[in-house]
């Protein structure tokens, strides 16, 4: 009798809790039905950002074994849900003299009234410049900004971060993470201080955000062809570290039909403490590490500033940028 009363009370409390919170759906994740990708087609390594009143994604074009793509596209959106293909913004055989293929993992920044686009090409890092976020972009150097072999690991996956004081930093590297300050011209590095380090589990795809004075360095672990591909992070009080890996990682990983989720970027909605993470996963259905698609999910922080685990089944809803 005693046991039954306790059991009944517990059950009623559970039902009441679910009814009050109304969150039963939020907790039961259907891992068989993932939201559709935000970009139509196979695109990976999405670099999401915001310029003025539009969001932009700069991805890698997928669909060839060995990632042999030769050009880069740009996509734009007023609300994170409806995306327009702005076309090819850099075509390696047409626009570069020093690389023709392996157009991978770009990143972009606005400074000096110009857009600076950094990208991997044949395992070197290049820079291109334009007056518009949608290009066309021109190669100002006629050679890589960072040639392959400059540091151990692959010279790929650049990420540019512009701090509140206007100083710009370039992060890059597979196998180890490197960081250097960019000079004011944005097309050369301050080589007096290049820092290289490898947080536990680090493989590639570094990305930095700053929130409430804390620098978050995020990266991808495992190989992009591995279904376990996932995202972890570390924090620092300085853009060049040292970075301390956070407990409770990975912050984003596949589940159910979502496999190989990683190589991400993060955007803050201007004027709000509202953040979204763009990442790729194996195409659903029939994808793999060469056929990946771009998704966006909300990314949240707890009261202590830890990044909360991202739900890869949470669909992004339309966001408005304040006038």
Residue 282: CB minimum distance to ligand FUB, A: 12
User: Is 62 designated active site?
Assistant: no
**DSSP notation for 45-63:** EEEEEEETTEEEEEEEE--
Rule CB under 6 A: is residue 169 a binding residue for ligand FUB?
no
Residues 67, 216, 249, 276: which binds ligand FUB (CB under 6 A)?
67
Tokens at 205, concatenated = 């795809």
For position 45 contacting ligand FUB by CB under 6 A, the verdict is yes
Question: How far is the C-alpha of 174 from the C-alpha of 194, rounded, in Å?
Answer: 15
Residue 223, both tokens: 């190989």
Asked whether position 157 contacts ligand FUB by CB under 6 A, the answer is yes
What is the closest distance, in whole angstroms, from the C-beta atom of residue 127 to ligand FUB in the complex? Answer: 16
Q: Does 92 bind ligand FUB (CB under 6 A)?
A: no
293 binds ligand FUB (CB under 6 A): no
- List, as own/partner pairs, every contact residues 106-109 make where C-beta atoms lie below 8 angstroms and the sequence separation is at least 24, other chains included: 106/45, 106/47, 106/58, 106/59, 106/60, 106/72, 106/158, 107/47, 107/58, 107/158, 107/159, 107/160, 107/265, 108/47, 108/49, 108/56, 108/58, 108/133, 108/160, 109/160, 109/161, 109/162, 109/168, 109/186
- Asked if omega into 296 is within 30° of 0 (cis), the reply is no
Quick one: which of 271, 173, 288 has its CA closest to 227?
A: 288
Among 224, 235, 265, 294, interactor with ligand FUB by CB under 6 A: 224
- Rounded to whole angstroms, the Cα distance separating 278 from 282 reads 14
By C-beta, is 62 or 139 nearer to ligand FUB? 62
Per-residue b or e along 14-42, where b marks 16 or more CB atoms closer than 10 Å to that residue's CB: eeeeeeeeeeeeeeeeeeeebeebbbeeb
- With binding defined as CB under 6 A, does residue 70 bind ligand FUB? no
Which C-beta is closer to ligand FUB: that of 154 or that of 319? 154
Contact status: 264 vs ligand FUB (CB under 6 A): no
Q: Is residue 204 involved in binding ligand FUB (CB under 6 A)? A: yes
Size of the site for ligand FUB (CB under 6 A): 13
List the one residue from 89, 105, 109, 127 that touches ligand FUB (CB under 6 A).
105
Can residue 205 be called a binding residue for ligand FUB (CB under 6 A)? yes
Distance CA 235, CA 216 (A): 5
Catalytic residue list contains 221:
no
Q: Does 104 bind ligand FUB (CB under 6 A)?
A: yes
- Residue 43 contacts ligand FUB per CB under 6 A: no
259 forms part of the interface with ligand FUB (CB under 6 A): no
- 127 neighbors 141 (Cβ within 8 angstroms): yes
Selected catalytic residue, list 139, 204, 221, 293? 204
CB of 118 to ligand FUB, least distance (A): 12
Residues 171 to 200 in contact with ligand FUB, rule: CB under 6 A: none
Residues that bind ligand FUB (CB under 6 A): 44-45, 60, 67, 104-105, 120, 156-157, 204-205, 224, 263
The set of catalytic residues is 45, 204
């Amino acid at each position: 009798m005693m046991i039954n009363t306790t059991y009944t009370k517990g059950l009623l409390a559970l039902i009441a809790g679910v009814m009050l919170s109304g969150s039963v759906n939020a907790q039961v994740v259907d891992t068989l039905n993932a939201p559709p990708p935000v970009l139509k087609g196979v695109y990976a390594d999405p670099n999401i950002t915001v310029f003025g009143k539009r969001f932009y994604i700069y991805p890698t074009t997928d669909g060839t074994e060995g990632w042999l793509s030769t050009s880069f596209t740009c996509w734009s959106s007023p609300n994170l849900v409806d995306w327009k293909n702005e076309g090819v913004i850099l075509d390696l055989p047409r626009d570069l003299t020093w690389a023709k293929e392996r157009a991978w993992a770009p990143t972009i920044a606005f400074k000096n009234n110009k857009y600076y686009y950094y990208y991997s090409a044949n395992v070197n890092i290049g820079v291109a410049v334009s007056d518009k976020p949608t290009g066309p972009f021109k190669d100002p150097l006629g050679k890589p900004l960072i040639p392959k072999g400059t540091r151990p690991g692959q010279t790929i996956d650049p990420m540019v971060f512009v701090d509140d004081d206007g100083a710009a930093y370039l992060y890059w590297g597979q196998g180890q993470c490197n960081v250097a300050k960019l000079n004011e011209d944005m097309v050369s590095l301050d080589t007096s201080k290049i820092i290289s380090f490898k947080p536990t589990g680090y493989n590639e795809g570094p990305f930095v955000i700053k929130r409430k004075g804390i620098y978050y360095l995020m990266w991808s672990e495992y190989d992009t062809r591995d279904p376990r591909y996932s995202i972890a992070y570390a924090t620092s009080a300085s853009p060049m570290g040292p970075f301390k890996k956070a407990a409770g990682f990975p912050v984003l990983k596949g589940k159910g039909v979502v496999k190989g989720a990683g190589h991400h970027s993060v955007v803050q909605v201007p004027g709000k403490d509202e953040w979204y993470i763009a990442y790729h996963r194996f195409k659903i259905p029939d994808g793999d590490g060469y056929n990946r698609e771009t998704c966006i999910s909300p990314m949240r922080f707890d009261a202590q500033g830890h990044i909360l685990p991202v739900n890869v089944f949470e669909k992004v809803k339309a966001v408005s940028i304040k006038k």
